[in-house]
Amino acid sequence: MPESFLTSSEEETIEAGRRIAARLEAPVLVFLIGELGAGKTTLAKGIISGLGAASVEEVSSPTFTLIHEYGARPKVYHIDLYRLDRAPELDTLGLEDLWDRPAVVLIEWGEKFASRLPARRLEILLEHAGESVRRITVR
């Protein structure tokens, strides 16, 4: 059953991420879905800090490096596929090596390549629900 949160600040989005993290159990693949500026990286900060893998300040967008790795137990991989245009580019990242690890794998823009990524995943949709309000739906 889907679960929703409404947030109206960066702090509330981070706290929603922490609440989601409390229910995540590795191994798990999580798609963070939403338009540019929807708060995907902010939510990832909350999830990663909620898992105890890094502090909020240590988490940054992996837009240019594509993959950031945090923590040890659980290991968290934060991936951003925004800059990739074609499915064959996925093969250069070695993502398939992550699927069997006891890790939490967060992927921003994963929906671009959904057919090439594992179907067993949690999807978190971030949408604008007003001028400064975000709706976060976990499904």
Please identify which residue in the block is written with the tokens 């596929």. 81
Tell me, what's the pLDDT at 1? Answer: 62
CATH 3.40.50.300 fits 3-138, yes or no: yes
Mean pLDDT, consecutive 10-residue segments, the chain of 139 residues? Answer: 90 98 96 95 98 97 92 94 92 89 96 93 95 93
| Residue 2: predicted pLDDT | 78
81: left (phi over 0), alpha (psi -120 to 50) or beta: alpha
| pLDDT for the residue numbered 69 | 96
> What are the residue boundaries of the structural domains of the chain, listed by start?
3-138
Instruction: Give the pLDDT confidence score for residue 64 in this predicted structure.
Output: 85
Q: What is the pTM of this model?
A: 0.94
